[in-house]
Structure 1
Amino acid sequence: MLIIRSLSIVICFALLIACQPQHSDAIKQYQHASAGAFDAAISADGQYSLVSTVEHGVAVWDNQANALKFQWYLKEDEQNLVIALAIADDNSTAVTATKTEFAVWDIQSGENLGFYSIKASHIRDIAIANQGRYVLYGRADGVAVHVDLQTGRRIEFLGHQEKINAVALSPNGRYALSGANDYAAYLWDTRSGQVVYRFNHASRVTQVALDPQGRFAFSAGSKRQASIWDLRTGAQHSQLQYIARQKIFSAVRFSNDGQWLATGSPSRELALWETQSGKRVIDYQVAARANSQPKSAVVFAVAFTNNNQLLTESSSGLSEYFNIKGMP
């Protein structure tokens, strides 16, 4: 049974937190999950956050008002096991997923728009198109599935040979990007299932992203290769420049103008890069939860806000704002 709880006031733990978290470079911090988060997503404009928690289901936050808007529960009497979630680029809808089920929600009303179960393998990552019409999810058996929720049409992409780690979907639902343990990321057409481009890596692909304007794609391997691709030609546009032999990205977002890329890592790192050159402009650190061991946090999501700031959600349960340095 799907449960929705709406809150009309800003509850006390939405205020600026008074505890003393591990050092952070943030200019503002808000507590969104007191016991930490399983996963999180932020809307493209930074207005909304979804935070998957143990005790309180999926919390929907209005970041402009600093208010808890809804709490979504897939099953009231069970612990929340939402391991993947996403917000449509137009802020209309969201999708939340356990390993074997997913639900689609109206962000404005909080209403559930559908509940779906999968019969094969389990979900690894999920994405949703504008108006909530299309959902894309990647499975542990290497299959990516695109579903038209209006007509019921499903298409399975069988190009991968191993477990899928990350998926992304264009805002109109037409193009999908999937990355897997088979050292490849594929951009493919969701109408035909045909490959548009294959992006090769020297290690398993752990993260992918699409520029909503259709200019660029991003894919990152588990070792020293994180590339920005030109979607007009399929050629590499730039490669992120860093020294580490192994680097994992847990969050990534293109700026609206396509000039910048923001990334987060499982080791508290938030970074801003130039898309043209791949050069790193600035590094930040998000906060770890107070008294946590080890002192670390996974950056689950990042977004560019309208006032030239970066907004993050992390496993510490904190929402944090960072002033952007180095941008015109």
Structure 2
Amino acid sequence: MTIFRTFLLTVSCLFIFSCEDKHQQATASYEHTSTGAFSSALSHDGKYSLISSINHGVALWDNQQHALKYLWSEQQDQDSLVHTVAIAYDNSVAVTAEKNTFSVWSISTGENLGYYKIQTSSIRDIAISNQGRSVLYGRSDGVVVYIDLETARRIEFLGHQDKINTVDISPNGYYALSGSNDYAAYFWDTRTGQVIHRFNHPTRVTQVTLDSQGQYAFTADSMQQAHVWQLTTGDLVSKLKYIARQKIFTAVRFNQQGTLLATGSPNKQVDLWRVSNGEKLQSWQVTPRKGSRPKSAVVLDIAFIDDELSLLTESSSGIAERFTIREHNEHN
């Protein structure tokens, strides 16, 4: 009887762990490039994926039709790859950037709306506002540049003291968030260039993002601090709770309500967090390419889809993957 009970307990545990493991796996995957991705951006709703790869240039995928929509080129060569891409919040336009150039593209027609060359330093990160009205990019010389593409008005933000790692812009283009090797992130007004809040870190700031509804900012450094800030007051809302000695974020997205935060890391890891207290709610791992060495993948972007019941990721493996959010975590 004891042996039988032990057998049943063992079988039950195996079944539970099997179900748990299965729950954590991707529920669907789609190959977007056969050679892996150099950079990727998802639209906020996951409808589109924009992917730069060495052999295929820049591709825009329609994730609803699971079909290639456009192939774009910026006179690419092996020494000048598109290394950063972004999609406007309203899905109207996309921007692609090489070291010294950037291009704006219409998502509805595929038309190139403008090709721009910068004369000073090099582009480190780029963002674009609704309707492609304005572009924000950070340079390796520590300058963040805002350009109104309709009026040609230009602001150079000089608040940082070291190279820029990451930038984001509000959907209406009025506000910018920038992070630098100078241990600071600045939230500032693109109409005046004035700083609204400074968010300090003990090491270089490697990731920033704005909540699309204007409630929160996320900033993270290269070691142990990842924070959510209240934009109206500049107060700290929460600090993500993890015990790793070092944790780097390569992708971040707030959900529409500003209650959840999804993050991706360079070690395949995808995590879901509660904004109000920084508690981790769920974790997954993206799939490396077969035969890749080391056997890992960088999570390049992430989006809430299916009425925020799922996450969609793009990774350096060139594969888009869908993950299910547990129902009881959805809006807690």
- How high is the TM-score relative to the length of structure 1? 0.91
**Structure 2 contact 122–140 (Cα < 8 Å) conserved:** yes
- Please state how far the C-alpha of 1:101 moved relative to its aligned partner: 0.2
Match of 1:327 in 2: 330
Match of 1:250 in 2: 250
Tell me how far apart the structure 2 counterparts of residues 76 and 97 of structure 1 sit (CA, whole Å).
Answer: 11
Q: Deviations over 1:237-260 (max 9, x none)?
A: 000000012110000000001000
- Please state how far the C-alpha of 1:25 moved relative to its aligned partner: 1.8
Match of 1:155 in 2: 155
- Please state how far the C-alpha of 1:306 moved relative to its aligned partner: 2.8
**Structure 1 contact 210–218 (Cα < 8 Å) conserved:** yes
Match of 1:25 in 2: 25
Aligned length in residues:
305
Q: Deviations over 1:44-83 (max 9, x none)?
A: 0100000001111111000000000000001166676000
Q: How does 1:288-307 map to 2 (within 5 A)?
A: 288-307=288-307
Question: Is 2:45 the partner of 1:45?
Answer: yes
Matched letter for residue 323 of structure 2: F
Greater RCO, 1 or 2 (C-alpha within 8 Å, sep 6+): 1
Question: Is 2:315 the partner of 1:314?
Answer: yes
Q: Could you tell me which runs of 5 or more consecutive residues in structure 1 were left unpaired when the two chains were aligned.
A: 1-23
Match of 1:60 in 2: 60
Flag the structure with larger Rg.
2
Q: Deviations over 1:143-162 (max 9, x none)?
A: 00000001111100000000
Matched letter for residue 223 of structure 1: M
Match of 2:131 in 1: 131
Which region of structure 1 is more displaced relative to structure 2, 80-89 or 250-259?
A: 80-89
Matched letter for residue 150 of structure 1: E
**Structure 1 contact 73–80 (Cα < 8 Å) conserved:** no
Match of 2:178 in 1: 178
Matched letter for residue 114 of structure 2: G
Matched letter for residue 319 of structure 1: A
Tell me how far apart the structure 2 counterparts of residues 152 and 270 of structure 1 sit (CA, whole Å).
Answer: 39
SS at match of 1:131: helix
- Please state how far the C-alpha of 1:231 moved relative to its aligned partner: 0.7
Q: How does 1:202-281 map to 2 (within 5 A)?
A: 202-281=202-281
Matched letter for residue 330 of structure 2: M
Matched letter for residue 300 of structure 1: L
Tell me how far apart the structure 2 counterparts of residues 303 and 220 of structure 1 sit (CA, whole Å).
Answer: 18
Matched letter for residue 241 of structure 2: Q
SS at match of 1:125: strand
Matched letter for residue 29 of structure 2: Q
Q: Could you tell me which runs of 5 or more consecutive residues in structure 2 were left unpaired when the two chains were aligned.
A: 1-23
**Structure 2 contact 54–78 (Cα < 8 Å) conserved:** no
Matched letter for residue 292 of structure 1: S
Q: Deviations over 1:147-185 (max 9, x none)?
A: 000111110000000010000000000000000000000
Tell me how far apart the structure 1 counterparts of residues 305 and 144 of structure 2 sit (CA, whole Å).
Answer: 31
- How high is the TM-score relative to the length of structure 2? 0.90
Match of 1:8 in 2: none
The CA RMSD measured in Å over matched residues stands at 1.1
**Structure 2 contact 80–99 (Cα < 8 Å) conserved:** no
